Structure 1
C-alpha cells in the first residue's frame, strides 16, 4: 500500500485506518510499534486516570526516551485519537428487526456505559467532532441503521443518536465520580441527622420525606439508568409515530 500523505488530514486519522504515513527521519530502527504505544497509554489511563496518559510516562513505560516516542505518534492529539479508537473498540451487535428498535437502542446505549465502566477515563477524552475512525464510525453506523430503519430520516436519526450518546456519557461520568468520591454519603447517619431538621425548616418537604424514607441517595443505580433511558426512548417513539 502506498504511503499516505496525511498533511491535510486531522491528527491520527491515517494511522487509525492502519495506513502507512510519511514520517521524518527516525534515526535508529524503531524498537516498538504504534500499537504498543497505544496499549501502554490505555494501561496507564486504566490504572491512574486520564491525567496519567502523558507522553513522558508512556515513553518510560515501554522503555523509550521522552523524544523517541514521537517517532511513533507525532503529538498527544494524535495519540488521543488512536487511544479512543482502541478503547471504544468495535460496535456492539444489534438486533436487525426494525420493529424492535427500542431493544437495539438500549443495547447500544448500555454498551457505551459498559465501555466506560471498563475504561472510566473515556468520558474525559475531548470530543473533536463527528466520528471519522473505523471503530467510532461503526458505533455511529450501528445506531443510525436502527433509527433510520424505524422510520426516521438520517438527520433525525443522528440527532436522536446524540441524545443517547450524551445520556450514556453523562451517566458514566456521574457514576465514576460518585464511585471515586471521598465525600461522606448523604445516607450516612451523621449527614441525615444534620440535614433532616434543616430541610424541614426550609420547607423542603419532598427532600425531607425522601431522606426520612432513605430514598435520597448519591448512588446511580441500574433502575435510574433504565428509567432515564426509557423516557428518552419514549420521546423518540413519539417522533417515529408521527412519521407513520
Structure 2
C-alpha cells in the first residue's frame, strides 16, 4: 500500500512536484473545474512545440483552452510549477533500448536519444535546469542510466555521479548544436570560412600559435561532433569502474 504525505508536508515541497506525481490539488471554493492539470500541460507542450518556450505563456495557454489567465491558477500554483511539468512532459518517457546492452552502449544510446529529444524540442534547453530529476519521466531517464552503471559494478552513489556527467554532456552538446545552427553564429557554415580567413594572419602575430597551426592546417575538429567528447566521458567512467573493481 502506498502512503501519501499529509497536506502540511505537500505545501513545503518545490513547485510542480506534487502535481507531477498526481497528487490532488488543494480543494478550492467555487464551481467544479472544467479542466485538469494534464490538459493544461498538454496545451503548453503544443504551444511550445509551435512557438518555443515563450509561446507557452499563461495567457496563450488559457486562450487555447477557452479560459481566463486567472482561471489557470485553479490548477497551477505558479509559472514555475508549469515549467517543471512542461519539462517532464516535453522529455516524455525514456527510450526503449535493446536488451543486453552493456553499460557503455546503453550510455551512448541514451545520449543520442537525449540529443534527439533536444533537437525535436529545442525549447527544453530554455527551461532552467533545476538539479537532479525529481519528476516521473525525467527520473525514468535517470533510472535507465543508473541500472546500466550499477550493473557494471558501481555503487548507486557513484552511478548517480556518472549519470550526471552523461546528462550534462548531452545538454551541453545540444546547446552547442543549437548555437551553431543559429544563422548569426560566427561558426555557422555561411560564416566559418570567412572567420578563419580573417583570423589566420592575426593568430600567430597576436600570440596564438597553436590555434594558428590548427587554422593553417584546417584541422579544427567539428564543433558539433558528439562521439569525440562522449568517448572521452565514457573513457573516464571506464577508468573509474576499473579503479573501483581493483579497490583503488
When normalised by structure 1's length, the TM-score is: 0.86
**Which residues in structure 2 correspond to 1:78-89 (within 5 Å)?**
78-89=81-92
Q: Which residue of 2 aligns with 1:104?
A: 106
In the TM superposition, what whole-angstrom CA distance separates every residue of 1:77-99 from its partner, at most 9, and x where no partner exists?
A: 2111211111111112245537x
By how many angstroms is 1:189 displaced? 4.5
User: Contact between 1:94 and 1:142, CA under 8 Å: does it hold in 2?
Assistant: no
In the TM superposition, what whole-angstrom CA distance separates every residue of 1:110-144 from its partner, at most 9, and x where no partner exists?
A: 21111111111212222333322211221111111
Q: Which residue of 2 aligns with 1:225?
A: 226
Q: Which residue of 2 aligns with 1:61?
A: 64
Q: Which residue of 1 aligns with 2:203?
A: 199
Between the aligned partners of 1:193 and 1:46, the Cα distance in structure 2 is 38
User: Contact between 1:196 and 1:212, CA under 8 Å: does it hold in 2?
Assistant: yes
Between the aligned partners of 2:107 and 2:194, the Cα distance in structure 1 is 42
Which runs of no fewer than 5 residues in structure 1 stay unpaired? none
Which runs of no fewer than 5 residues in structure 2 stay unpaired? none
Q: Which residue of 1 aligns with 2:13?
A: 9
User: Contact between 1:4 and 1:21, CA under 8 Å: does it hold in 2?
Assistant: no
Between the aligned partners of 1:189 and 1:129, the Cα distance in structure 2 is 39
Of 44, 47, 56 in structure 1, the residue corresponding to residue 50 of structure 2 is 47
By how many angstroms is 1:73 displaced? 1.2
User: Contact between 1:200 and 1:208, CA under 8 Å: does it hold in 2?
Assistant: yes
Q: Which residue of 1 aligns with 2:125?
A: 123
In the TM superposition, what whole-angstrom CA distance separates every residue of 1:48-105 from its partner, at most 9, and x where no partner exists?
A: 333333212221232221211112212112111211111111112245537x211011
Q: Which residue of 1 aligns with 2:176?
A: 174
Q: Which residue of 1 aligns with 2:148?
A: 146
User: Contact between 2:90 and 2:121, CA under 8 Å: does it hold in 1?
Assistant: yes
By how many angstroms is 1:160 displaced? 0.5
The farther-off stretch of 201-210 and 109-118 is 201-210
Q: Which residue of 1 aligns with 2:136?
A: 134
Between the aligned partners of 1:17 and 1:189, the Cα distance in structure 2 is 50
Between the aligned partners of 1:92 and 1:230, the Cα distance in structure 2 is 20
Between the aligned partners of 2:35 and 2:77, the Cα distance in structure 1 is 15
Between the aligned partners of 1:48 and 1:180, the Cα distance in structure 2 is 16
Aligned in 2, Cα 1:188/1:55: closer, same or farther, shift over 3 Å? same
By how many angstroms is 1:179 displaced? 1.3
